[in-house]
Amino acid sequence: MFNWFAFFSYIIVSCITPGPNNLMCMANGTKFGFRKSLKFCFGVTTGFVLILLCAIACNFFIYSYIPVILQVMTPIGALYILWLAWAIWRDKPKEKKESKLRLDTTAFHVGIILQFVNPKGLLYGMTLITNFVFPYDHSFGMFALTLVVNWFVVLFSNICWLLFGSIFQKFFEEYKKILNAVMALLLVYCALSLFH
């Protein structure tokens, strides 16, 4: 029997708690303000829905290989989180002439692309579909409901973290080095916790 309470509880708790996306939204809100960072939030939300679509496809086509995929994606995801920690730690102002390899962390497409190396998102998507949806309901309606609910919850979560960063922008600017160190250490913790 489908457990709606567990389904919604897992979605809300997983999406609102600190993770790479939420911390990056907060950092963007602090550094660039609400309006300029909003595109990134929509990119993250769109990328998250694409991850869920991939998780649905995995359950249909390569269900038995999911543990292998998780073992490969965990170290890649940990490297991504460590890269985010490094980017927040160094926090250099954006210059007009930059290397082509530097990512614009306010861009819509960057928000999408980063979801495919975001371990929290990948693990969340696979866990949600594998444990809360797939065993009980394989219907298009249930998959559509899952995608819509997640789109709204992820967007709400990202905007909350973005607002938090932009509202306290002056405070963050005053204590920038300390707060960047704290956020970077939280991301390092996220990366290390993947291996426990």
Residues of the chain below pLDDT 70: 1, 62-74, 77-78, 80-81, 84, 88, 91-103, 169, 172-173, 187, 190-191, 193-194, 196
- Identify the pLDDT of residue 73: 60
Q: Give the tens place of pLDDT for each residue, 130-151.
A: 777 877 787 889 999 999 999 9
- Identify the pLDDT of residue 43: 94
Q: Report DSSP state, residue 65.
A: G
Q: Report DSSP state, residue 130.
A: I
Q: Residue ranges per domain, the chain?
A: 20-90+105-193
Joined together, the tokens standing for residue 76 give: 């890649």
Residue 21 neighbours by CB under 8 Å, 6+ apart: 44, 48, 114, 115, 118, 120, 121, 154, 157, 158
- Identify the pLDDT of residue 9: 80
Q: How many angstroms separate the CA atoms of 104 and 124, rounded?
A: 25
Query: Residue type at 112?
Result: I
